[in-house]
Structure formats: structure tokens, C-alpha cells
Amino acid sequence: MTEQNGHRQHISSQFSEELSSATAQLLQMGGLVEKQVLTAVDALIERDSGDAEMVIESDKRINAMEVNIDDECFRILARRQPTAGDLRLVLAISKAIVDIERIGDEASRIARQAIILSEQTEEHGIEVHMRRLVKVVTEMLSGALDAFARRDVDKALEIAQGGQELDVESAAAMGVLAERIRQYADCVDAAITAMWAVRSLERVSDHARNIAEYVIYMVDGVDIRHTEVDAVLDRLRGR
């Protein structure tokens, strides 16, 4: 092996390590926000202001991770000037961490609603629905992150075009809350507070779908935003 070839292999190895490191950091960040969402909803249901405060405080760590990963992506772009699939990977990471950070924001919003509820005595009556809803949402998020790690286009497409179960659970929760508002005047504040939490979970699912879309773009270079499902499938079948 010539010295020049050895140098090229060394550079290539470093580049691969940098890409792997950025991906690993993204997945770590994603795992942390998933825990935040679960903890925030538990705090809401149990009216645990202590756990809620921990979720809000840990959002600072999420923000710092986003900045660090974004800086790493910028350094990779500037130093390595990646092309094709490697470029799409860096861009996908850069986009996905924005959605992950916003999921952290939604977890903090739910935690703030939990603190408000902890100071109230009224019942909202959707504990079962909230547990079902957060299960669906976190499964979407973990599935999107797993698809990112495995570059699994089929799983990513399933998540990006899914959400029917989420719609059912969300509608059920909102229906119960609306009924309580109609029937019990003393439950209005608690019900409205819970409604905000439901909306936050819906937004978490939207961000999970965005991450899944980035996976499809990263692997196949296909942007499925604002695209009909059949057209997406036709393009992917032709890859």
C-alpha cells in the first residue's frame, strides 16, 4: 500500500467515524426526549409536580445536545464536503435534531400542564386515554428513531403515512374532556389543561413523522412531503 493510499483510507475511516458519532448522538438525544414525554405524561396523570419540574429542567440538556450535534454537522460539511448519500445523511441529521428538540419542548409543555393540574382538585377523567395516547405516540417516535438507525425505508414509510390509531385515541380523549366541560362546571379548568396536553402529544407525533420522512430522503433521495402515497410507493418501488 502506498503512503498516499494509506492516507486516503485514514481520512475515509475518520469520516465514517464522524458520521457514526453524529448519528449516535442523534439517537441518544431521541431516546432522552422519549423518556421526557413518558415522564411528563406520568406527571400529568399522577399530578406529580416534582417529576414535572425534572422534565422542564432536563430540557436544557436537550437544547445543548441540539447545538452540539448541529455544530458537528457543520464541521463535517465544511471539512469533508460530502456528496450523495453521505450528504443526505448529514442533512437528515441536521433536520431531525430540530424535530427532536421540539419534541423536548412539547414534553416541557406537558410538564407545565402537570404542575398546573397538581394545584387543582378537579378531575379530568382521561387517565386511561392519556396512557393509550402516549403509548401510540412514543411507539411512533421510537419506531422513527429505529428506522433512522437501521435506514429502514419500509418502517419509515409506515410511520410517515400512519397515524390512524393516534387519531382515534386523540379524538376519544378530546371527546371525554369536552363532555366533562359540558356536564361539570367545576371541571372546566382541569379539562382545558388536559386538552393542551393532548394537543402537545399530537404535535409530538407530527415530529415523529417528520423524522421518518428524513429517513426516506436519506436512503433514497425521495422527498415525500406534500406527495400522494401512491406516488411515493411508485417512486420507491423503482429504486
Helix (H, G, I), strand (E, B) or coil at 1: coil
Domains and CATH numbers, the chain: 3-237 (1.20.58.220)
Distances (CA, A) of 179 to 68, 98, 119, 173, 201: 46, 36, 22, 10, 20
What per-residue confidence (pLDDT) applies to 5?
Answer: 47
CA distance 52 to 49: 5
What per-residue confidence (pLDDT) applies to 138?
Answer: 95
List the chain pLDDT tens, one digit each, 239 residues.
Answer: 454 444 455 457 787 888 999 999 999 999 999 999 999 999 999 999 999 999 999 999 999 999 999 999 999 988 888 888 899 999 999 999 999 999 999 999 999 999 998 887 766 677 888 899 999 999 999 999 999 999 999 999 999 888 788 888 889 989 988 888 888 777 788 888 889 999 999 999 999 999 999 999 999 887 776 665 555 555 555 55
Which residue type does 44 have?
L
Residues in the chain: 239
CA distance 12 to 229: 37
What per-residue confidence (pLDDT) applies to 120?
Answer: 75
What per-residue confidence (pLDDT) applies to 135?
Answer: 94
- The 8-class DSSP code of residue 186 comes to G
Q: Is 172 exposed, middle or buried (0-12, 13-18, 19+ CB in 10 A)?
A: middle
What per-residue confidence (pLDDT) applies to 224?
Answer: 72
Distances (CA, A) of 97 to 119, 143, 190, 222, 230: 34, 16, 33, 19, 28
CA 205 to chain centre: 7
What per-residue confidence (pLDDT) applies to 162?
Answer: 80
What per-residue confidence (pLDDT) applies to 236?
Answer: 55
What per-residue confidence (pLDDT) applies to 124?
Answer: 62
**Angle at which helices 84-118 and 127-150 cross, to 10°:** 160
48: left (phi over 0), alpha (psi -120 to 50) or beta: beta
Residue ranges of the alpha helices (H) in the chain? Answer: 3-46, 49-80, 84-118, 127-150, 153-160, 164-183, 188-220, 229-237
What per-residue confidence (pLDDT) applies to 3?
Answer: 44
Taking the chain, what is the end-to-end CA distance rounded to the nearest angstrom?
36
What per-residue confidence (pLDDT) applies to 4?
Answer: 46
CA distance 95 to 233: 23
